[in-house]
Structure 1
Amino acid sequence: AQTARKQALEDEKRNLAYYTSIGGIIECHCCFSDTPLNRVVYCAAAEAHPFCWECMKSNAKAQVGMMRHIIHCMDVSGCDAGFSREELIKSVGDSLMNKLHDLQQLEEIQQADLPDLEECPSCEYKAIYPPVEDNCEFRCLKPGCMRISCRRCRGPSHIPITCAESRKEGNKHLRKQVEEAMSNAVIRICPNKKCRTPIIKEDGCNTLQCHKCSTVMCYACKLNISRVKDDHFATRQSCPVEDDPYFQERHERERLAARNEALQSIIKDNPELDEEALGVELIKSRTVRDGVPILYPEGTPNTSEMPRWAFGQRGDCKPRWPGWVTFQPESWPQLRVQLPAANEDTQLPINYEYQLIEKVGVLPELPEGGLERYRDPAPQWVSFYAYAPYPLPPDLPVRRFEREPDFRQNLPWF
């Protein structure tokens, strides 16, 4: 293309030199440049005004940009004469001439105000069609287009499927992105940077070992625990050693979070789409297990009327034993509790998970006196679980001690 343009410039230079040598030069009445006679056209006025081809092309492009098709004389005298079709074709070329012709047809059709007039969505071709119920396809007959489109959605023809089904098919690649994000959400990647092997948990505890490099990782937080192994679960309360059968709930939470993130990204780039148009898998509300409480941090909207979680209200929380320490009631976190009905479909927040909230050590009843013989009594531990934010706030779970197990009548324990 560059070579062709260079050759065209050389040809124009030779043409100008030739006509200059024979005196065949005239001044353009628009740009006032000396122009060879074979590169000039004249308006249709009685006193015709000459214009070079470049000025004619510039004028034609300006008219097309303004959706006009009439080219008037550009002389400074105010002449409003037009140009013959032959002069226009010679000066502006076939491409611009076709656009001017299409604009002329469009104006004539609009002025005619014809009923049942349909337009090709890909070009300006128009035709009269019967009602869309009788014929839902538009067949363009314009050379260079010839497309068949749907008169309802104005997209490519998709007979025999409906417009909605066609949109879903057209968005298949976007739907696949969401589905892949949901699948990847439940896959763990080996934390060894030299390995990065995908790992999927089907059952068992939350200690996963890569079969390829033997790296040990925590299924819950995805960290490398090869050095600490099971000690990780003792120091990190938000990571349970086992969460079966609740790991399926963890999967659903992770899949829902990945789905929403992928949808937001796609809809941000394609504002005309929505979830229904994408046709992605819908995740239903999670069913809360029978009697399991749902905890909300103090200040969560629409929870102020809910009762507080009753830390320390189930018995004596002051251990009798020297050396035992426990949280004081004023330091316990303020949590609102909801007790949904059994099998109630409740939309839990995405980051909620079934977790240990409170662990109570029940100390044995011993006779008065002689406590020095019982410096290290072994309590019986009772655990309380609930749905709560994951990971848990740093002041949870609460650990405390009670002398008698009489607290079991006040709140459910699991």
Structure 2
Amino acid sequence: NCVRTHIDICFKEGKCRFGCVENSCPGEYTTRLVNELLPPKDLKRLNRRIQEENIRQAAIDGLECCPYCPYAVIVDNPDDKIFRCLNPECMKETCRLCKEPNHIPLRCDEVEKGIELEMRKFIEEHVTEAMIRKCPRCSQRFYKVEGCNKMTCSSCGLFICYVCRETINGYDHFTNNEKCTLSNQSEKIHYEEMVQEYTNAKNEYLRLHPEAHDMILRYDPISHLMKPPVTTTGAT
């Protein structure tokens, strides 16, 4: 059990070879013993790790490795910007310079990475969700492009106000109601909701990740929110 635990710890530390549990002993455990003590899923990862280490130590000119799997190949053309993995279990295309997924035609410095990408996606998901209504009774999700604001749930038949999202009995809800009018622009409603949710989502992300406080999003979702044109109704 001591040897098994020792090998397991060494494996989790990223090691390829497993020295004796006794610090004073310079010996290593045999491959046969390691194969007996490690579970199959860890053995597969260990063999991949050993293969990667052997490739690195070989220092073969022009040899490049896939960032996502052990596949390696000699790349002869220095002008080829993309590494194409031919491992059937991987088949990823990556940039040879920055090792990120293929981002052509963008330059490496134009590609979002790490927390910047995570922050943008977090905000985008919340902004998109702001347009979606949910039936208070059956949780059916819906949204409209045009038409009046008295909505009928297609699943359970409940009447819902599209503006305030509350359950209503009929058209009386819209009488003398400055906020919830019977008919107005869906684009205007959605725009205002998305702008508000943008602020909420950004503040929430920064609360959860204070290290991103100074982050400037190069593809800020706010830049894609198009303000609807102002329409006027003239009397004739």
Tell me the equivalent position of 1:300: none
Q: Is the counterpart of residue 213 in structure 1 residue 170 in structure 2?
A: yes
Structure 1 residues 260 and 199, CA gap change in structure 2 (3 angstroms)? closer
Match of 1:180 among 106, 128, 131: 131
Q: Is the counterpart of residue 101 in structure 1 residue 47 in structure 2?
A: yes
Residues 125-179 of structure 1, C-alpha deviations (whole Å, 9 max, x = no match): 44433558537352253xxx72111213744x79xx9679xx9xxx7x9499258
Q: CA deviation at 1:64?
A: 1.9
Which protein has the bigger strand share? 1
Q: CA deviation at 1:189?
A: 5.2
Q: What amino acid does structure 1 have at the position aligned with 2:172?
A: T
Match of 2:21 among 61, 65, 74: 74
> Which has the bigger relative contact order, CA under 8 A and spacing at least 6?
2
Q: Looking at CA atoms only, which structure, 1 or 2, has the larger radius of gyration?
A: 1
| Equivalent residues in 2 for 1:4-403, closer than 5 Å | 54-75=1-22, 78-114=24-60, 116-130=62-76, 134=80, 136-141=82-87, 146-152=89-95, 154-155=100-101, 174=125, 177=128, 180-181=131-132, 188=149, 196-198=159-161, 213-217=170-174, 218-222=176-180, 252=188, 254-264=189-199, 268=205, 276=219, 281-284=224-227
Structure 1 residues 118 and 198, CA gap change in structure 2 (3 angstroms)? farther
Structure 1 residues 213 and 108, CA gap change in structure 2 (3 angstroms)? same
% same residue: 12
Unmatched 5+ residue regions in structure 1? 1-53, 201-209, 224-246, 290-414
Cα contact 1:116–1:131 (8 A) shared by 2: no
Q: What amino acid does structure 1 have at the position aligned with 2:84?
A: F
Cα contact 1:139–1:149 (8 A) shared by 2: yes
Residues 29-88 of structure 1, C-alpha deviations (whole Å, 9 max, x = no match): xxxxxxxxxxxxxxxxxxxxxxxxx33332222112222111112237x21212332233
Structure 1 residues 146 and 114, CA gap change in structure 2 (3 angstroms)? same
Structure 1 residues 154 and 95, CA gap change in structure 2 (3 angstroms)? same
Counterparts of 1:150 and 1:277, CA distance in 2: 26
Tell me the equivalent position of 2:117: none
Q: What amino acid does structure 1 have at the position aligned with 2:74?
A: I
Counterparts of 1:137 and 1:104, CA distance in 2: 22
Unmatched 5+ residue regions in structure 2? 113-120, 134-142, 152-156
Counterparts of 1:181 and 1:279, CA distance in 2: 18
Which protein has the bigger helix share? 2
Q: CA deviation at 1:219?
A: 4.9
Counterparts of 1:109 and 1:128, CA distance in 2: 11
Structure 1 residues 174 and 199, CA gap change in structure 2 (3 angstroms)? closer
1:146 alignment partner, SS class: coil
Name the TM-score, length of structure 2 as normaliser: 0.51
Structure 1 residues 135 and 100, CA gap change in structure 2 (3 angstroms)? same
2:92 alignment partner, SS class: strand
